[in-house]
Amino acid sequence: MEKYNPNNLEKKWQKIWEENDLFKAEYSYEKKKFYILEMFPYTSAQIHMGHVRNYTIGDVVARYKVMNGYNILHPIGYDAFGLPAENAAIKQNIHPKDWTYKNIETIREQLKRLGISYCWEREVITCDPEYYRWNQFFFIQFFKRNLVYKKMAPANWCPFCQTVLANEQVIDGKCWRCGENVETKNLEQWFVKITDYAERLLDFSGIRNWPERVITMQKNWIGKSEGCEIYFYIPDIEGNLNVFTTRADTLFGVTYLVLSPYHPFVEKIKRISSRKNEIEKFIERMTKSSLSVKDILKIEKEGINTEIFAIHPITQERIPVWIGNYVLMEYGTGAVMAVPAHDQRDFEFAKKYDLPIKIVIKNPEWKEIPEKLEKAYEGPGIMINSDIFDGLDNEKGEEEIRKYLEKINKGKKAIYYKLKDWCISRQRYWGTPIPIVYCQKCGVVTEKEENLPIELPYEVKITGRGESPLKYVEKFIKCKCPVCGNDAERETDTMDTFVDSSWYFLRYASKDIKDKPFDKNEVNYWMPVDQYIGGIEHAILHLLYSRFFIKVLKDMGLIDFEEPFENLLCQGMVIKDGVKMSKSKGNVVDPEDIIKKYGADTLRLFILFAAPPEVDLEWSEKGIEGCWRFLNRVWRLHYEVKNYESIETKNDENLEFIINKTIKGVTEDIEKEFQFNTAIAKMMEFINFFSKIINEKSVSKKVLLDSWKKFIKILYPFVPHISEELWKDLGENKFLFYEKWPSYEKFEKIDKKISIGVQINGKLKGAVEISQTFEVNEILNLISENEKFKKFIIGKKILKTIYVKNRVINIVIED
């Protein structure tokens, strides 16, 4: 017997699989397709356990589906643009491109060493001009469709590094690199109108199976609220102040208005208010505070009375206008009507500044209207103190007041979303150049499609300081205007890398395509992705942007489907000592070390066995050893099978039953939410039984061998290398990849005797062996003759007997 030596054996099979083009995907209308996709890795130095988990899960699904007759697309690529490449450039003095491609080499080798069944010839590398030219192409199409625009927008700015920072690079209001306080700086930036698609993005009906929490997170992110805009006339500035509210029914309870410190009216009010100086000071204090978002939540509500008045649209009362720090400029109109009686925030503010509180909705639980409220009443009720609307149910009142306002031209129905347009500008080098040209004569124009790609220049100085490094590359900037042909300048912003990942899965589906982003037929065949697998950290941005992209592409007529990912599985993190593996925690386990020691199959098996895919997985070296032992056991048993000589055949039927039961269990566990951990447990159970029976030599060689072959087949998707080795060692010459997943149809329980639980008054007292055909009274007879149970029943009246077939019998007796 050879010793199980995974390292040689795994490399051998990986080579043979590759030479035989096993995993090459070909599109074919005869076969039902299955597109299995894992989120592609970012090209940092090497892969970590999180990747191993993600890709192993995908590989099991892919191999399992192939064996079940599907035509599989299982591709991989690299998310290759992004800031870390520039940081590496600064730190290690290496060009971002060289750094990235070097990493890709490493990662590719690591993925191959794991034995994942990828179709390598469809690899996508997003920093390849042949890929990102299509980002530019889409940008131009979006521009034509009026889906991109440029506007001033605040960006995080580090005054020391002289650079723009991404949100995640701002830590507690400070620059992650130098620790300087981060300021906001207004810059002209490019936006994509994702808000145009807010309604369609809220519709998840085209999605089959996504985790509920991901859908909820996206819904919250889009944050739709339906309400009413109301216009309050301000005589002093001869203009309307618009507020947004979802509670128009409380309009008669308005006792003041509040503006955000950033509201454009603040300037006007400052000019005419008698409290100009105080207001100025207040605004300065509120807008200068470089607090992080979390701190802002903790700070107390503060405000200042402008001493300016607005006119109530119905009562014509004079309503004081305040400026308050609790009103967000980014939401609604940046101004609210305050109804302290029915909104807790307004209530707190009113209490603090001693503003009037007017009750206009009667809580049904109130016997009479209270003199004073302890807190705002935000629930439903009957309207009071509301003139002609008195007595209405508040929900009805909301509608009535809105209609009335519309009639007198003082308001209108309005829908607001939290979702903001997608800022895709990055003042960075390592990204897709935005294909825009600035011409003195023609203005802002898009580059001609035939001039794409606009390639990133290799020669560039990356310092991490100042604006986009491209600003200093003259060769890049200088160009001809695509409209008039005169000298012009290029845009130097590059695109957010989420653009790259919004459609990469379409490119996979289009093999060897050169003259367009993808082939429509092939994409329509493979798409949508049948199973997408990745981390929960992409629950919102990547998945939302991809959904958006696909909808736009559909509207452009480029594709025929509405949703990119039908089924989504978010796998849990790999944790050690209770926390996520990370460099800073110093608890990282390198997959390469584990593979060297135990081989890829052991690593795969452990990662699948230790927990169900969607929950966090606690790393355990001992657990790895357990899996290593299991595979060694399989290995040894294999040689026992080969040398086996039967003594008797009494267990033939039994073994057939057990292998069929195992196949059924494993199949169902995979089909049902990918419960690989229990599937593996069932295979371990099989091995426990199998090794017992092989020691007894109580089955015929034929049945033994037959069961063993079936077992190797179901083992294959989990640990493909060892399975393939054993398979071939049995004299089989077809690859397991091309074998059919075994069926379990024709099996029934051979053993007619089973054991059922015996309960007296619901309490378990033991078990009896019965024949499956027994009727209740036969079982009852058996029990009343049994020494163990006799004493409970003798002399007692049996009130009732409940028999759950083949499981349990409960005898209810009088006490």
Partner RNA sequence: GCGAGGGUGGCGGAGAUGGCAGACGCGCUGGACUUAGGAUCCAGUGGGGAAACCCAUGAGGGUUCAAAUCCCUCCCCUCGCACCA
Q: Which residues within the stretch 720-779 sit at the binding site for RNA (CB under 7 A)?
A: 754-757, 759, 761-765, 767
If the CB atoms of residues 515 and 814 are measured against RNA, the closer one turns out to be: 814
CB of residue 650 to RNA, shortest distance in Å: 18
Distance between CA 729 and CA 583 in Å, rounded? 43
CB of residue 368 to RNA, shortest distance in Å: 27
CB 154 within 8 A of CB 185: yes
CB of residue 683 to RNA, shortest distance in Å: 8
- Rounded to 5 degrees, what angle do the CA atoms 611, 613, 617 make? 45
- Print the binding letters for residues 160-179 with RNA: x by CB under 7 A, - otherwise: --------------------
Distance between CA 342 and CA 336 in Å, rounded? 13
Close Cβ partners of 497 (under 8 Å, ≥ 6 residues apart): 79, 81, 82, 126, 431
The one among 618, 640, 706, 732 contacting RNA by CB under 7 A: 618
695 binds RNA (CB under 7 A): yes
If the CB atoms of residues 398 and 493 are measured against RNA, the closer one turns out to be: 398
CB 610 within 8 A of CB 620: yes
Close Cβ partners of 632 (under 8 Å, ≥ 6 residues apart): 4
If the CB atoms of residues 504 and 635 are measured against RNA, the closer one turns out to be: 635
Q: For strand 422-423 and strand 183-192, is the pairing parallel, antiparallel, or unpaired?
A: antiparallel
If the CB atoms of residues 593 and 616 are measured against RNA, the closer one turns out to be: 616
If the CB atoms of residues 122 and 547 are measured against RNA, the closer one turns out to be: 547
The one among 193, 208, 301, 728 contacting RNA by CB under 7 A: 301
If the CB atoms of residues 84 and 223 are measured against RNA, the closer one turns out to be: 223
Distance between CA 117 and CA 114 in Å, rounded? 9
Q: What is the CA radius of gyration of the chain?
A: 35
In the region spanning residues 304 to 343, those forming contacts with RNA, defined by CB under 7 A, are 325-328, 330-332, 334, 336-337, 343
If the CB atoms of residues 16 and 764 are measured against RNA, the closer one turns out to be: 764
What is the torsion angle, in degrees rounded to the nearest 10, for the CA atoms of residue 238, residue 244, residue 248 and residue 254? -60
If the CB atoms of residues 140 and 756 are measured against RNA, the closer one turns out to be: 756
CB 247 within 8 A of CB 342: yes
Look at the chain and count its residues. 815
| Angle (deg, nearest 10), helices 6-19 and 96-114 | 110
The one among 1, 16, 45, 299 contacting RNA by CB under 7 A: 299
If the CB atoms of residues 216 and 277 are measured against RNA, the closer one turns out to be: 216
In the region spanning residues 494 to 513, those forming contacts with RNA, defined by CB under 7 A, are none
- Print the binding letters for residues 131-150 with RNA: x by CB under 7 A, - otherwise: --------------------
If the CB atoms of residues 45 and 804 are measured against RNA, the closer one turns out to be: 804
Quickly list H helices, 180-303: 198-202, 212-222, 265-272, 276-288, 293-298
The one among 684, 705, 780, 782 contacting RNA by CB under 7 A: 684
CB 751 within 8 A of CB 36: no
Distance between CA 397 and CA 406 in Å, rounded? 14
CB of residue 257 to RNA, shortest distance in Å: 11
Phi-psi region of 82 (alpha: psi -120 to 50; beta: other; left: phi over 0): left
| Token pair of 267 as six digits | 């300037």
Close Cβ partners of 688 (under 8 Å, ≥ 6 residues apart): none
CB of residue 305 to RNA, shortest distance in Å: 18
Distance between CA 197 and CA 214 in Å, rounded? 18
Size of the site for RNA (CB under 7 A): 84
CB 410 within 8 A of CB 242: no
Residue of 216, 81, 75, 49 whose CA lies nearest to 501: 81
CB of residue 389 to RNA, shortest distance in Å: 18
- Print the binding letters for residues 511-530 with RNA: x by CB under 7 A, - otherwise: --------------------
DSSP 3-state assignment of 89? helix
| Token pair of 51 as six digits | 């990747």
Helix (H) or strand (E) holding 784: helix 776-785
If the CB atoms of residues 151 and 692 are measured against RNA, the closer one turns out to be: 692
Measured in degrees and rounded to the nearest 5, phi and psi for residue 25 equal -95, 135
CB of residue 677 to RNA, shortest distance in Å: 5
Distance between CA 460 and CA 472 in Å, rounded? 8
In the region spanning residues 77 to 116, those forming contacts with RNA, defined by CB under 7 A, are none
617 binds RNA (CB under 7 A): yes
| Token pair of 11 as six digits | 């490399």
Residue 459: exposure state from Cβ atoms within 10 A (0-12, 13-18, ≥19): exposed
If the CB atoms of residues 556 and 804 are measured against RNA, the closer one turns out to be: 804
418 binds RNA (CB under 7 A): yes
CB of residue 127 to RNA, shortest distance in Å: 28
If the CB atoms of residues 84 and 623 are measured against RNA, the closer one turns out to be: 623
CB of residue 723 to RNA, shortest distance in Å: 18
CB of residue 617 to RNA, shortest distance in Å: 7
- Print the binding letters for residues 207-246 with RNA: x by CB under 7 A, - otherwise: -----xx--xx--xx-x-x-x----------------xxx
The one among 92, 238, 293, 475 contacting RNA by CB under 7 A: 293
* C-alpha neighbours within 13 Å on the C-beta side of residue 612: 11
Residue 768, beta-bridge partner list: 756
Query: What sign results for the dihedral spanned by CA atoms 659, 660, 661, 662?
Result: positive
In the region spanning residues 16 to 55, those forming contacts with RNA, defined by CB under 7 A, are none
681 binds RNA (CB under 7 A): yes
| Buried/exposed 309-332: b ≥16 CB within 10 Å, e otherwise | bbbbbbeeeebbbbbbbbbeeebb
In the region spanning residues 426 to 445, those forming contacts with RNA, defined by CB under 7 A, are none
Q: For strand 256-259 and strand 335-338, is the pairing parallel, antiparallel, or unpaired?
A: antiparallel
If the CB atoms of residues 346 and 725 are measured against RNA, the closer one turns out to be: 346
If the CB atoms of residues 524 and 567 are measured against RNA, the closer one turns out to be: 567
CB of residue 536 to RNA, shortest distance in Å: 7
If the CB atoms of residues 595 and 617 are measured against RNA, the closer one turns out to be: 617
Q: For strand 71-73 and strand 33-38, is the pairing parallel, antiparallel, or unpaired?
A: parallel
CB of residue 325 to RNA, shortest distance in Å: 5
The one among 174, 193, 208, 345 contacting RNA by CB under 7 A: 345
In the region spanning residues 620 to 649, those forming contacts with RNA, defined by CB under 7 A, are 620, 622-623, 625-627, 629-630, 632-633, 636
Distance between CA 537 and CA 39 in Å, rounded? 11
If the CB atoms of residues 524 and 761 are measured against RNA, the closer one turns out to be: 761
If the CB atoms of residues 46 and 363 are measured against RNA, the closer one turns out to be: 363
CB of residue 300 to RNA, shortest distance in Å: 7
The one among 123, 467, 640, 685 contacting RNA by CB under 7 A: 685
The one among 7, 87, 646, 677 contacting RNA by CB under 7 A: 677
CB of residue 641 to RNA, shortest distance in Å: 14
Query: What sign results for the dihedral spanned by CA atoms 243, 244, 250, 255?
Result: negative
The one among 387, 395, 616, 729 contacting RNA by CB under 7 A: 616
Measured in degrees and rounded to the nearest 5, phi and psi for residue 532 equal -105, 140
CB of residue 218 to RNA, shortest distance in Å: 9
Distance between CA 183 and CA 181 in Å, rounded? 6
CB of residue 154 to RNA, shortest distance in Å: 15
CB of residue 582 to RNA, shortest distance in Å: 13
- Print the binding letters for residues 576-615 with RNA: x by CB under 7 A, - otherwise: ---------------------------------xxxx--x
| Token pair of 288 as six digits | 């200068």
